[in-house]
Amino acid sequence: MDAGSLNSCPQQMQFLQSCENTPERTLDAPDIIDDFCLNLMDWGSSNVLALALQNMVYLWDASNGSASELVTVDDENGPVTSVSWAADGQYIAIGLNSSDVQLWDSTANRLIINNDVRVHSHIVATFRGHRQEVCGLKWSTSGQQLASGGNDNLLYIWDRSMASMHSCSQWLHRLEDHTAAVKALAWCPFQRNLLASGGGGSDCCIKFWNTQNGACLNSVDTGSQVCALLWNKNECQLLSSHSFMPNQLTLWTYPSMVKIAELTGHTSRALFMAQSPDGRTVATAAGNETLKFWNAFGTPEVKKAAPKAEHPGPFPHIRRIR
């Protein structure tokens, strides 16, 4: 189903309309960098959360609550500016202030590749368009389209097949509607070619795009800087994190964009947001050096067949990852 169809939301799950408006757990995140343009947290498919704190990258295993240090980079290359898990949940890419990108095997704490992105021979393809730093970058689920948001207030949609080492104008769409930096990007998991983007402090809007034709489907003024966006994997809902008091998370129903709930607890802007593999738990990190975990989307109730007499279902109690 394409982005132009707004009624293709999944129906296999039914969710409670209430969600917990206080965090389930709070952990310390000492020395986390309070920078809108960085991407310091990601939750991998193996249920391990990666968090960059200055020159260090820590791994927190959500299945047992254990934490370990993956790497500490030297001052010449640090700080760490971004982390991103590969789809397999084993390998993690780490971006450094020195322009290096390192690929680590998290199961062996071993450096696999160290690429200097300034070295021409390491570059597979180049997308040229932004005039200032790129602060948001997300591949579509299919891996065919790439969305990039910049400090130049521009949002680009790129097609992988159009990548080139030399061309300067190979973008699919150049979108100029935002009036501030574009960091928050989220591809819809249930509608092809549907992208949500969020603007910075002088914009404050969440916009929805049909990336097939470049049309803006809707724009919602949230009243504050949009730091991050996450789709509910099982329901037509979008979660946004914000700056300015109360530094809240806002849960919206899509496509009406009616507010369902506001979750408060951070005392500074909630810059970074990541979602557990099962979609039930959301982690947020803020400049006040805290990491919080939320049951933001409510507890799902899976439709079940009528149980046989005197025989309860095989899984009567489902525990959330905490």
Domain boundaries, the chain: 36-123
Percent of the chain with pLDDT over 90: 69
How many angstroms separate the CA atoms of 295 and 21, rounded? 8
- Whether pLDDT at 173 is above 70: yes
Model pLDDT for residues 37-48, shown as the tens digit of each residue? 999 999 999 999
- Whether pLDDT at 303 is above 80: no
- Whether pLDDT at 125 is above 80: no
How confident is the model at residue 241, as a pLDDT?
98
pLDDT band at 112 (very low <50, low <70, confident <90, very high): confident
Quickly count: other Cβ atoms within 10 Å of residue 148's Cβ: 20
Percent of the chain with pLDDT over 70: 81
Cα Dmax for the chain: 70
**Mean pLDDT to the nearest integer, 112-119:** 73
- Whether pLDDT at 300 is above 90: no
> Which of 106, 105, 63, 97 shows the shortest CA–CA distance to 278?
63
pTM for this model (two decimals): 0.86
pLDDT band at 298 (very low <50, low <70, confident <90, very high): confident
Place of tokens 């189903």: 1
How many angstroms separate the CA atoms of 308 and 302, rounded? 17
How confident is the model at residue 302, as a pLDDT?
53
SS3 248: coil
103 strand-pairing partners: 93, 113
Q: 17-31, 36-50, 273-287, 295-309: which has the minimum mean pLDDT?
A: 295-309
**Mean pLDDT to the nearest integer, 234-257:** 94
Q: Are 117 and 111 in contact (CB under 8 A)?
A: no
How confident is the model at residue 99, as a pLDDT?
87
How many angstroms separate the CA atoms of 79 and 93, rounded? 14
CATH class held by domain 36-123 = mainly beta
**Mean pLDDT to the nearest integer, 281-305:** 83
Q: Are 197 and 149 in contact (CB under 8 A)?
A: yes
CA 145 to centroid of chain Cα atoms = 16
How confident is the model at residue 208, as a pLDDT?
99
How many angstroms separate the CA atoms of 195 and 139, rounded? 10
pLDDT band at 29 (very low <50, low <70, confident <90, very high): very high
Place of tokens 């809108």: 36
Where on the phi/psi map is residue 52: left (φ > 0), alpha (ψ -120 to 50), or beta? Answer: beta
How confident is the model at residue 129, as a pLDDT?
86
